[in-house]
Amino acid sequence: MEELYREIEEKIALSREEYEEYKSDVQRSVTVAKKLEAFEHILSLLKKGQSPEALLADLKEELPGMEEERDREAIYPSFDWYDEHYHYKILEGWCIAYKEVIKLLEKERP
């Protein structure tokens, strides 16, 4: 479990660095910020006691619906004062994080 924590913490650190690099880029900053938020949320779930197996099942269950909603937002964006594709960028960040954590959770561990 400690290895999994460390790997997610590394993803959080990399996402923070990426956010600092792109925080003035309106096209990428929201996606990167939401990816960071998702990694932090996932790590907190594990630290609160959710098992990696249950987390993997939850992420795999939620991801297809999130991807479907993201794809719909790409074609028919919801109105938002921030940006026409604001909701797409939010969903994209969460989808990226979910996919990366699913890979970590599926990795064989000693």
| 5, 29, 40 from 32: Cα distances, Å | 20, 5, 12
User: What is the C-alpha to C-alpha distance for residues 55 and 43, in angstroms, rounded to an integer?
Assistant: 10
> What is the share, in percent, of the chain residues with pLDDT greater than 90?
84
Residue 46 structure tokens: 């594990």
Read off the pLDDT of residues 7-27 as tens digits, 9 standing for 90 and up: 999 999 999 999 999 999 988
Residue in 8, 5, 102 with CA at minimum distance from that of residue 53: 102
What is the residue whose two structure tokens read 């630290």? 47
Residue in 93, 91, 79, 78 with CA at minimum distance from that of residue 15: 93
Residue 27 pLDDT: 82
Residue 110 pLDDT: 56
